[in-house]
A and B are shown apart, each in its own frame.
Chain A
């Protein structure tokens, strides 16, 4: 009996503490007078994803937004749970970077019923009812493919035998980048993709597939350029090119997408030539929309594109420094 009494006392003390801290949070929130926004992120599966999360957090801090960050570890059910808890907490807006395209309707309807604006960032959601979200902030993958191809065609005067490392089969990024690149190449009769295979967006596969390409194309003598759907595959392929006794960046031009720090290092060392930035700075536009929504604006375009630039070797060293110091 005594034991029970002690336990219940501890329980009461703990809940009192909880209430006190909760009150503390509340007053702090009111003090900095910012919005409360929930952000459900996919996870931290790549270097790019990490910089994306960091950029959103930094942007929130700059604007005095109280950001509730939730890492879903690549699982949709975690994201749905997170969104439900954001709704329960009565946040001012929800930002979601969805892991997959389908299955979002019920939870978005709950958010709509609670009058909380939802902004989709990065990947898409398949929704037949576009009143369920305010807008989508995303990069234009097709445009990235076009930018890479335009640079390559200018560099080689449209005369180039290209090998392509595709991303994961069926991924939006892979399909659209391939499409954009292909559109530009089609205008140049002397440019051709001679080999194309998937390397699953990973470094080790990029190396393995490139090794085989090099052997199939007379030790790489036939290949003028490598076009990779992301930087990681390009970095793996660079290792393979070096091991085959060729100079990446000179014997075989290397162009890819993402602009992760490691590719800037390779570019600074002359081993890669160009990368198109997949902008991780999607937090800013998303917060803009939510701030305007709260202020009463209702009329938004359904897609807000963010466009990254093309980076070349001349600025690579400086960019590498910038991007690694920030971390």
Chain B
């Protein structure tokens, strides 16, 4: 793994021995999330208020989960793509296309839910296949290949919608966005199901290993007999389908396809979530759980800002500061420097000062 030196590997193993329940990777994102919750506890205790209303849980915590769903779908796909050393800028636009396709099918008189949802997912698959083909087979740089769809995709969605916000009345489809199952909002249940499927696919088959191998060293993987192009093609297709799912949930949520705004800039949130989850943009190891914690941090932050009653013009500033803080917390060098600082204050430990820094 080129993103971790042998020393850090050894240290990682050591701390894993101490904390067997948490993989080390999950620790810092979880610490950040807990800190965020602590802030909420202090400024607005109603954040933690939960009650059962009409047979489903109701409260801000549930909202955080529910609002995270579209970005979480994007993040699952993005984690895999980033693990292969790629990036997908088009997922927000693919959301818009999928939403537009579904809405127009319904307005056009299609009542069968499977056809409507299937149509949306197919649109996502096609977009993903185009991206995957450009990156996997034509070896175009991912950031350029997916930029095409990022720009053109929203135009395609506009074209499908005829420049309007297309609204529809369909209780079955709306259920995907606002219904509830097992006392939880349906999107959350859907996300847990999909997450479980993808996790099993990655960790109970060799696919996850192949993806990480391609990200670490494509040449070596090729000589080992891994079909690099097919692996890349597959992850972009999967990300396309997941983006379509995100688009369907978001469209069902507002019962309308708003091609201009649906999923706008969400690709950046997804990339951010993967990075907060501790993944390297250069590719290599990935952890779906850590990425999802990243999503929760971003959404909890947004909800906190709305609840706190801070003037809206400071929103982005606060968001940026918290993200920088979270990323610093995870930086190996920053951690070591903080440790050194503490060691300097402790006279008994002074002879250790600088030793860990030398290791980096």
Q: 10 more A-B contacts (CB under 8 A) besides A50-B163, A208-B67?
A: A50-B164, A169-B313, A198-B312, A211-B63, A232-B165, A235-B256, A239-B178, A243-B178, A262-B165, A262-B167
| CB-based contact A215/B49 at 8 Å | yes
Whether A179 sits at the interface, judged by CB under 8 Å, is no
Whether A131 sits at the interface, judged by CB under 8 Å, is no
Closest CB in chain B relative to A281 CB, distance in Å: 19
Q: Which A residues lie within 8 Å of B46 (CB)?
A: 215-216
Closest CB in chain B relative to A170 CB, distance in Å: 8
Whether A133 sits at the interface, judged by CB under 8 Å, is no
Name the CB-closest residue of A to B264. Answer: A202
What is the size, in residues, of chain A's interface with B at 8 Å between Cβ atoms? Answer: 33
Known: A197-B306, A216-B44, A243-B178. A204 touches B262 (CB 8 A): yes
Assembled-state Cα–Cα distance A202/B250 (Å) = 13
| CB-based contact B54/A245 at 8 Å | yes
Stretch at the interface among A40-48, A106-114, A307-315: A40-48
Name the CB-closest residue of B to A194. Answer: B309
Closest CB in chain B relative to A92 CB, distance in Å: 28
List the interface of chain A (C-beta within 8 A of B).
44-47, 50, 73, 166, 169, 195-198, 200, 202-205, 207-209, 211-213, 215-216, 232, 235-236, 239, 243-245, 262
| CB-based contact B261/A204 at 8 Å | yes
Assembled-state Cα–Cα distance A202/B258 (Å) = 9
Assembled-state Cα–Cα distance A50/B312 (Å) = 29
Closest CB in chain A relative to B66 CB, distance in Å: 9
Q: Which A residues lie within 8 Å of B253 (CB)?
A: 204, 207, 239
Assembled-state Cα–Cα distance A196/B309 (Å) = 7
Whether B315 sits at the interface, judged by CB under 8 Å, is yes
| CB-based contact B53/A197 at 8 Å | no
| CB-based contact B306/A203 at 8 Å | no
| CB-based contact A166/B258 at 8 Å | no
Known: A47-B164, A204-B253, A204-B254. A209 touches B306 (CB 8 A): yes
Q: Which A residues lie within 8 Å of B49 (CB)?
A: 215
Whether B354 sits at the interface, judged by CB under 8 Å, is no
Q: Which A residues lie within 8 Å of B340 (CB)?
A: none
Name the CB-closest residue of A to B302. Answer: A208
Looking at chain A's contact residues, the main secondary structure is: helix
Q: Which B residues lie within 8 Å of A216 (CB)?
A: 44, 46, 60, 306-307
Q: Which B residues lie within 8 Å of A208 (CB)?
A: 63, 67, 302, 306
Closest CB in chain A relative to B155 CB, distance in Å: 8
Within 8 A of A (CB), among B237-287: 250, 253-256, 258, 260-262
Q: Which B residues lie within 8 Å of A202 (CB)?
A: 258, 261
| CB-based contact B312/A204 at 8 Å | no
Show 30 A/B contacts (Cβ-Cβ < 8 Å), sorted by A: A44-B163, A46-B260, A47-B164, A47-B165, A169-B312, A169-B313, A169-B315, A197-B306, A197-B312, A200-B261, A202-B261, A203-B165, A203-B254, A203-B256, A204-B254, A205-B261, A208-B67, A208-B302, A208-B306, A211-B63, A212-B60, A212-B303, A215-B46, A215-B49, A235-B256, A236-B254, A239-B255, A243-B178, A245-B53, A262-B167
Whether B158 sits at the interface, judged by CB under 8 Å, is yes
Whether B59 sits at the interface, judged by CB under 8 Å, is yes
Assembled-state Cα–Cα distance A169/B315 (Å) = 10
Q: Which B residues lie within 8 Å of A243 (CB)?
A: 178
Closest CB in chain B relative to A165 CB, distance in Å: 10
Assembled-state Cα–Cα distance A196/B67 (Å) = 20
Closest CB in chain A relative to B25 CB, distance in Å: 30
Q: Which B residues lie within 8 Å of A169 (CB)?
A: 312-313, 315
Q: Which A residues lie within 8 Å of B309 (CB)?
A: 195
Q: Which A residues lie within 8 Å of B306 (CB)?
A: 197, 208-209, 212-213, 216
Assembled-state Cα–Cα distance A236/B59 (Å) = 18
